[in-house]
Amino acid sequence: MNSVAIIGKLREKIDGIYRFFEYELPHLKEPENGETRIVIKYWTNLPDSRLLVLENNLRVALHGHLDAHEKFGTILVVDDYQLLR
């Protein structure tokens, strides 16, 4: 299994399980493809989980693993998170 630790901001919800996450790049240059978002979900798979009820634009550190999804492609399944100030 793979393991991911990433910092970024929570973005809009897609539905009761999934939402977008905008991650920070490790350099100051603009990304060439312009896309720095990935779809995330909380490991419990329950609607309106703790991760989904948080407001948009909160800066968080996420820890989880990558998974494949039919509709979204590669997603991040979040095992743990921490709010950053």
Decide the pairing of beta strands 73-83 and 37-42: parallel
Q: What percent of the chain has pLDDT over 90?
A: 79
What CATH number does the domain located at 4-83 have? 2.40.50.140
Is the pLDDT at 1 greater than 90, yes or no?
Answer: no
**Cβ distance 43 to 28 under 8 Å?**
no
CA–centroid distance for 68 within its chain? 14
Burial tier of 37 (Cβ tally within 10 Å: 0-12, 13-18, 19+):
middle
pLDDT at res. 35: 72
- Averaged pLDDT, 68-81: 96
Name the residue ranges covered by the structural domains of the chain.
Answer: 4-83
Tokens, residue 1: 């299994």
* Residue-averaged pLDDT of the chain: 91
pLDDT at res. 52: 94
Residues across the chain: 85
- What are the tens digits of pLDDT across the range 18-37? 999 999 777 766 666 667 89
